[in-house]
Amino acid sequence: MLRVEDLSIQYGGIRAVRGISFTVEKGKITALIGNNGAGKSSTLKAISNLVTPAQGRIVFEGRDITGLRPEKIARDIGIIHIPEGRHVFPELTVRENLLISFSSRTVSKREFMSEMQAVFERFPVLEQRQKQSAGTLSGGEQQILAIARGVLQKPYLLILDEPSMGLAPLIVEEVFEIIREINRGGVTVFLVEQNAQMALSTADTGYVLESGEIILQGSAEALMEDPQVKKIYLGEE
């Protein structure tokens, strides 16, 4: 579905990403794991064109989308990016945060009602808290809200930047179960994570990014058995 070819990202003198290539297969969950500063967020931002690559191409379903405006990538191509740190609007209520997802689409009142109802059925915590300002939600609830907003934008490809960040282990499990469920519903997922254990146990395929380069790739299962991954990323001897 997505092919990233020879991508390099440079910030002044810093080469954050160094000529990486990878693919995201349709219908699957693909994970990009790596430590702090490896270049994971930069890679996602290049896909959404929130940073301009120094070099490389982003190809989605055979179409070169490199340089397409970010709002077109979201609205017309259907690549929805849930950024690190979630970025909900803290002063707005949960419901208002959800309403914003409709601003780039034309829907009838009936469609709107049924989509809101579906979101509340899928994420009951958001229905309970729909009148609460989003800034007062727990970290996990904010992540669920950010994901729900993404779902309302009808993605073909959902890209998530560290969905586990700052969350307690039990909530991380819940958030990843939601991600698996969205994927089972037909949405392709590409996620970046420092939490290699969670990412690889969820994904079909994985890539390991270190200092801007892909050093390992394979099925998530094989990566979990890789001695280097075990030692450095899973904390096993």
Which residues lie near ligand ATP (CB under 6 A)?
A: 11, 14, 16, 34, 36-42, 84, 194
Looking at the Cβ atoms of 20 and 187, the one nearer to ligand ATP is: 20
Q: How far apart are CA 99 and CA 116, in angstroms?
A: 9
CB nearer ligand ATP, residue 141 or residue 162: 162
Tokens standing for 68? 């397409």
Nearer to ligand ATP, 34 or 53 (CB): 34
31 with 191: CB under 8 angstroms? yes
Number of helices (H), then strands (E), in the chain: 10, 10
- Contacts of residue 162, Cβ cutoff 8 Å, sequence gap at least 6: 40, 41, 84, 192, 193, 194, 195
| 133: DSSP letter | B
Owner of token pair 């989308």: 65
CB of 211 to ligand ATP, least distance (A): 9
In the complex, the smallest distance separating the C-beta of residue 153 from ligand ATP, rounded to whole angstroms, is 23
- Of the pair 74, 196, the CB lying nearest ligand ATP is at 196
CB of 96: closest distance to ligand ATP in angstroms? Answer: 28
- Distance in Å, CB of 157 to ligand ATP, minimum: 19
